[in-house]
A and B are shown apart, each in its own frame.
Chain A
Amino acid sequence: MAYSDKVLDHYHNPQNVGTLDKAKANVGTGLVGAPECGDVMRLQIEVDEATGLISDAKFKTFGCGSAIASSSLATEWLKGKTVDQALEIDNMDIVEELALPPVKIHCSVLAEDAIKAAINDYRVKNGMEALVEEKAHH
Chain B
Amino acid sequence: MNGPQCRHFTMDLKLPIYLDNNATTPMDPRVLEAMLPYFTENFGNAASRNHSFGWVAEEAVDYAREQVAKLIGADPKEIIFTSGATEADNLAIKGVFEMYASKGNHIITLTTEHKAVLDTCKHVEKMGGEVTYLGVQQDGLVDLAELEAAIRPETILIAIMYGNNEVGVLQPVREIATLAKKHGILFFTDATQAVGKVPVDVLKDGIDLMAFSGHKMYGPKGVGAFYVRRKNPRVKVTAQMDGGGHERGMRSGTLNVPGIVGFGKACELCMQEMEQEAARLSKMRDRLEAGLMALEEAYVNGNTEHRLPHVANISFKYVEGEGLMMGFNKDIALSSGSACTSASLEPSYVLKALGLGDDLAHSSLRFGLGRFTTDEQIDFTINAVSKTVLKLREMSPLWEMWKEGVDLEKIEWAHH
Contact = CB atoms under 8 A, between A and B. Distances in A.
Q: Do A and B bind each other?
A: yes
Interface of A: 3, 8, 11-14, 17, 19, 31-42, 60-65, 67-68, 106, 113, 138
B271 to A, nearest CB: 39
Nearest to A65: B326
Given A40-B413, A63-B320, A106-B416, A35 B358 contact: yes
B1 A39 contact: no
A85 to B, nearest CB: 25
B359 interface: yes
Interface residues of B, number: 29
A36 B395 contact: no
A64 B338 contact: yes
Contact of A60 (B1, B2, B395): B395
B409 to A, nearest CB: 10
Contacts, number: 85
Given A13-B1, A38-B347, A64-B323, 11 more contacts: A33-B413, A34-B415, A35-B362, A36-B362, A62-B323, A62-B396, A62-B397, A65-B322, A65-B326, A67-B323, A68-B395
A31 B397 contact: yes
B49 to A, nearest CB: 50
Instruction: Identify whether the interface residues of A are mostly helix, strand, loop, or mixed.
Output: mixed
Contacts of A36: 357-359, 362, 413, 415
Contact of B415 (A13, A17, A37): A37
Interface centre among A37, A67, A138 (most CB of B within 10 A): A37
B319 interface: yes
Ordered nearest first, which 4 A-B pairs have the shortest CB separation?
Answer: A34-B413, A36-B358, A35-B359, A42-B397
Contacts of A106: 416
Interface in B308-346: 318-320, 322-323, 326-327, 338-340
Nearest to A60: B397
